């Protein structure tokens, strides 16, 4: 295990800049485990890093990839929470597009009973993101009205299921009628096709006098003002991406009148301690619901990892529903 294959970037740019190469296998540092990767997820932050717009934090692997599942094959100094041959899924600080990845031990979670490694690889990035933003920051509670933009994305399908299982009323936006019906089948109470309907008007028509307590937005642009318009008193608006742009002309009067909280976050630069806290809560609060089949992973397509270019092209096309997973064979 001195060398391994991994996917490298010739230079920042389009998907064809990714190539398979042979390089040095990582050695787990104190507090880390080395995982033989069976499968890994493809996420939008990977696209940003591939294009040179999302550099890894100091000390992180320059190799792409933020989540994986596989078998622990080596333990760093001081690790007692895991054993050799344990099967885990993990949130990586980078490096998942490889045969082996070194990960802080406290960012690993057991494979939920009933799931295979491919399904488990679809969980960490999205569930860490949704749990930390919607539940830890947004403080979602039973009876809240929750709106998630991009309901058919990996983030969206996790957010729908988590919010429903914890008793919220769920509204989503999505780009086709097919995606809207899929979101409703997952549990969304209302799915709005944003290409044919204005989401603010559709929410007001559906909710009557009620408004939205928590909004999870990865779109930005003109949605920023729309979110303010539809938010309830003391509403929480959480931004995690800006696919339509990070700048908007916004009237902040209603932010004051409604006492809104507008916040945002990125997951990758958070400390290992923060990620460990999220992992702990996921294992106690969410993993049992996955094991009881109240929540299910949604994997739209499994690619052999040699076809990483095709996987990135599909993710960028926006045609997928749920997660895209690469399998190493």
Quick check: 291 and 273 in contact, CB under 8 A? no
Task: Give the mean pLDDT of the chain.
Answer: 97
Tell me the residue length of the chain.
Answer: 329
**Can you give the CATH number for the domain in which 133 is found?**
3.40.50.720
Q: Please, which pLDDT band fits residue 285 given cuts at 50, 70 and 90?
A: very high
- What CA–CA distances, in Å, run from 322 to 31, 89, 172, 249, 298? 32, 18, 14, 31, 5
Measured distance between the N- and C-terminal CA atoms of the chain, rounded to whole angstroms: 17
Domain boundary residue, one of 212, 232, 264: 264
| Overall average pLDDT of the 142-159 stretch | 98
Element (H, E) at 11: none
Handedness of CA 113, 240, 58, 78 (dihedral sign): negative
Q: What share of the chain is helix, strand, coil (3-state, %, to 5)?
A: 35, 30, 40
Residue 161 belongs to domain spanning: 127-264
Is the pTM above the cut of 0.85? yes
| Overall average pLDDT of the 59-83 stretch | 97
Q: Let me know whether 32 and 81 are in one domain.
A: yes
**Domains in the chain: how many in total?**
2
Task: Give the percent of the chain with pLDDT over 70.
Answer: 100
> Is 200 a residue whose pLDDT tops 90?
yes
| Overall average pLDDT of the 25-30 stretch | 97
Q: Let me know whether 49 and 79 are in one domain.
A: yes
**Can you give the CATH number for the domain in which 34 is found?**
3.90.180.10
- Report how far residue 313's alpha carbon sits from residue 319's, in angstroms, rounded to the nearest whole number: 10
Q: Let me know whether 109 and 174 are in one domain.
A: no
Per-residue pLDDT, 1 = 73
Per-residue pLDDT, 326 = 98
- Report how far residue 145's alpha carbon sits from residue 30's, in angstroms, rounded to the nearest whole number: 43
């Amino acid at each position: 295990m001195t060398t391994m294959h991994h996917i490298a970037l010739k230079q920042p740019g389009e998907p064809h800049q990714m190539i398979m190469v042979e390089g040095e296998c990582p050695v787990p540092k104190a507090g880390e485990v080395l995982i033989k990767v069976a499968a890994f997820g493809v996420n939008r932050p990977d696209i940003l890093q591939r294009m040179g717009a999302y550099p890894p934090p100091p000390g992180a692997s320059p190799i792409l990839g933020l989540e994986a599942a596989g078998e622990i094959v080596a333990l760093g100094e001081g690790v007692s929470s895991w054993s050799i041959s344990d099967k885990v899924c993990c949130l990586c600080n980078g490096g998942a597009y490889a045969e082996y990845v070194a990960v802080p031990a406290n960012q690993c979670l057991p494979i939920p009973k009933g799931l295979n490694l491919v399904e488990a690889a679809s969980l960490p990035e999205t569930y860490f993101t949704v749990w930390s933003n919607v539940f830890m920051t947004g403080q979602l509670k039973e009876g809240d009205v929750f709106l998630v933009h991009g309901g058919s994305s990996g983030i969206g399908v996790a957010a729908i299921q988590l919010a429903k299982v914890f008793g919220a009323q769920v509204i989503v936006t999505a780009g086709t009628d097919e995606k809207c019906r899929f979101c409703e089948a997952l549990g969304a109470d209302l799915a709005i096709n944003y290409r044919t309907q204005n989401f603010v008007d559709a929410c007001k028509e559906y909710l009557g006098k009620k408004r939205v307590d928590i909004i999870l937005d990865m779109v930005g642009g003109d949605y920023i003002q729309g979110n303010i318009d539809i938010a309830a008193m003391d509403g929480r608006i959480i931004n995690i991406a800006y696919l339509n742009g990070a700048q908007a002309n916004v009237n902040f009067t209603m932010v004051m009148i409604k006492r809104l909280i507008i916040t945002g976050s990125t997951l990758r630069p958070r400390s290992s301690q923060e990620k460990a806290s999220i992992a702990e809560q996921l294992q106690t609060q969410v993993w049992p619901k996955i094991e009881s089949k109240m929540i299910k992973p949604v994997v739209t397509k499994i690619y052999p990892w040699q076809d990483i270019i095709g996987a990135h092209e599909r993710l960028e096309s926006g045609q997928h529903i749920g997660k895209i997973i690469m399998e190493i064979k």
